[in-house]
Amino acid sequence: MVCSVLNVPRSSYYDFKQRVTSIKLEEVQLRSTINELFSLSRGAAGSRMLTVMLKEADLPVGVLRRIMRDMGLFCKQPGLHSYKLATAERPDIPNKLNREFQVNSANQVWCGDITYIWTGKKWSYLAVIIDLFARRVVSWAMSDKPDTDLVIKALDRAYEQRGKPSGLMFHSDQGSQYNARRFQQRLWRYRIEQSMSRRGNCWDIDKISLC
């Protein structure tokens, strides 16, 4: 009756109904998986970490963050933990991104960050690289130490997996790992332009941060 009034073929209606049902079922299954992984992490996994763990799902970080918020899942990392920033300002590495978070294509701007995860017995460190265009994780590396090797490993993986792109910018905070000469030499080798936020002026944590 409704299809006749609206002049809509019944086949289109049933196709739409089936797709809606499928989407709902997929999200129910996804929520179950997210809840299981979050429980296994003892509440330590944030949206970035879960994005890495659910890499096959190819979910934008924002979608995963929304689902976690709807489910009341919030990252809880016990104890005090410091992230080592550079002891001095680096005026020679300007903030070239300058909060211009809207980019036109993939492999134009990558953003790097490090988060720490309590595994029940010790801290582990996760370095993630995100493509700013799609807000998706393109590479990650994990280690017991938040050192320069960790961020270099994540960068090497991203560079190889993305087909050695050119014309790329890498943005981060002023963490000592990103200030390290070896990391900067790797950027130079790949012809990647470096950009850093100013000290005390974090680069929009709500949009790009790991947890």
Task: List, for residues 169-182, the tens digit of each pLDDT value.
Answer: 999 988 889 999 99
With H, G, I as helix, E, B as strand and everything else as coil, classify residue 170. strand
Helix (H) or strand (E) holding 177: helix 176-179
* Short-list 83, 103, 84, 92, CA closest to 169: 103
For CATH 3.30.420.10, the residue range(s) in the chain are 109-208
Of residues 194 and 14, more confidently modeled: 194
Which pLDDT score, from 0 to 100, does residue 203 have? 44
Give the confidence band of 211 by pLDDT, cuts at 50, 70, 90: very low
pLDDT digits (tens, 9 = 90+) for 10-44: 555 455 455 444 446 677 777 777 777 666 555 65
Which pLDDT score, from 0 to 100, does residue 206 have? 42
The residue ranges of DSSP E strands in 21-98, in sequence order, are none
Query: Do the beta carbons of residue 137 and residue 55 sit within 8 Å?
Result: yes
Q: Classify domain 109-208 by CATH architecture.
A: 2-Layer Sandwich (3.30)
Six token digits for residue 8: 């809509």
Which pLDDT score, from 0 to 100, does residue 163 have? 94
Helix (H) or strand (E) holding 207: helix 205-208
Report the predicted TM-score, pTM, of the whole model to 2 decimal places. 0.58
Most confidently modeled of 32-46, 86-100, 145-159? 145-159
